[in-house]
Chain A
C-alpha cells in the first residue's frame, strides 16, 4: 500500500547554519527563507518553524543548557527560547 504522507516542510531558501542541541536530540537550522527550523534527530518528525526574523538568517547557536537559541540575521541578532525561558 502506498500512502501520501504529505510534503516535508523544509526550507525554501539556502540553509546557512546548522547546530545540534547539546543533548544531540535536535538540530536547529537557519535559512535565507528568514526562518529557523527545529528538527528532531531521532524520528524525522516535521520541523517546528521559528518565525520572527524579517531577513536572511545566517547563523544559529544553542546555549550550553539547550534552553535558548541565538540567531544572527541580516536584520540583526536575536534570542529565542524553545522553552519560553525569560531573558534577552
Chain B
C-alpha cells in the first residue's frame, strides 16, 4: 500500500531537487526560489533555510556521505558547500560557464562531480575546493551526474544544445581516476534528465524527456529494458 504523507509547505518556488540525509532524519529541498530548506522527516518541521548569497534557482542538492555537508548546484554557475549543523556557507566552487544542473558526492566524500549547461562535468576536491578535472565530450547540456557505488565511475546524462538545436540524448560513462570516456549509451530519443546507479553498481537507470525509463547494464553498455 502506498500512501501520501502530505505536502511540506515553505518554498515560494518550484522544487527541483530533494535528498535524504544519510541517517534518514532530514530531507533537503532545493528550489527555484533560490533557497535550500532542511526538513525533519519525523514531523515535517522546517529546521533551517540556507540562503547565503545564492543567486538564481537551486537545481540540485546532495548530502555528503557523512551527512555533515550539503552541496548545491545553481543557476549562478557555482557549486556551494554548506555545513548542515549551522547552515554556514563553507565554500563556493567557480569554474562552470553555465548553470550547474547536478551535483554528486563521491562515495568516500572526497570529491564532488558537477554537471552543467556548459556541456561539461567537473570534478572538485572537497577538502580545498580545487578543480581536479573537466570531462568534455557531451554535445548538449549535462543534466545529471552520478557516481558508481565503488566511486570508480561517473555516469552523466545529456540534453539539448541551444546552439546546434540538437539533443545529445546520450549517457556517458567516465573513469574517475583519469577522466577517460569509457562508454556512450545511446537509446533515448530526447534529453536525458536523470541517471542513477543501482546499489550494486551493475545497472544504470535513466529518465528522459522522451517519457521513458531505461535500464542499462554497466559492464557492456547494453540496454536491458525500456518501458
B8 adjacent to A88 (CB under 8 Å): yes
B4 adjacent to A68 (CB under 8 Å): no
Interface-located stretch among B91-99, B111-119, B176-184, B193-201: B193-201
Closest-by-CB residue of A relative to B11 is A76
Closest-by-CB residue of A relative to B30 is A72
Q: Chain A residues near B4 (CB, 8 Å)?
A: 50, 52, 78-80
Interface string of A45-88 (1 = CB under 8 A from B): 00110101001101111111100101111111111111111111
Given known pairs A13-B211, A41-B198, A78-B6, the reply for A70 and B44 (CB within 8 Å) is no
CB distance from A60 to the nearest CB of B (A): 7
CB distance from B76 to the nearest CB of A (A): 19
Q: How many residues of B contact A (CB 8 A)?
A: 52
B20 adjacent to A20 (CB under 8 Å): no
How many angstroms from the CA of A18 to the CA of B28 in the assembled complex? 17
A10 adjacent to B27 (CB under 8 Å): no
Residues 62-103 (chain B) with a chain A CB within 8 angstroms: none
A77 adjacent to B39 (CB under 8 Å): yes
Closest-by-CB residue of A relative to B8 is A77
B200: contacting residue among A24, A39, A71, A84, CB under 8 A:
A24
Q: Chain B residues near A70 (CB, 8 Å)?
A: 18-20, 27, 29
A72 adjacent to B5 (CB under 8 Å): no
Cβ of B212 within 8 Å of any chain A Cβ, yes or no, is yes
Cβ of B139 within 8 Å of any chain A Cβ, yes or no, is no
Closest-by-CB residue of B relative to A73 is B15
Cβ of B187 within 8 Å of any chain A Cβ, yes or no, is no
B5 adjacent to A80 (CB under 8 Å): yes
A79 adjacent to B196 (CB under 8 Å): no
Residues in chain A within 8 A of chain B (CB atoms): 8, 10-20, 22-24, 27, 29-31, 33, 38-39, 41, 44, 47-48, 50, 52, 55-56, 58-65, 68, 70-88
| 27 sample A-B contacts, Cβ–Cβ < 8 Å, listed by A number | A11-B211, A14-B210, A15-B209, A16-B194, A18-B195, A18-B196, A24-B199, A38-B2, A44-B225, A52-B4, A55-B14, A58-B15, A59-B17, A61-B18, A62-B20, A63-B20, A70-B19, A72-B17, A72-B29, A75-B14, A76-B7, A76-B8, A76-B9, A78-B6, A78-B7, A80-B4, A84-B2
Q: Which 9 A-B pairs have the closest CB atoms?
A: A15-B207, A72-B15, A74-B14, A88-B5, A10-B227, A14-B209, A72-B18, A52-B4, A18-B207
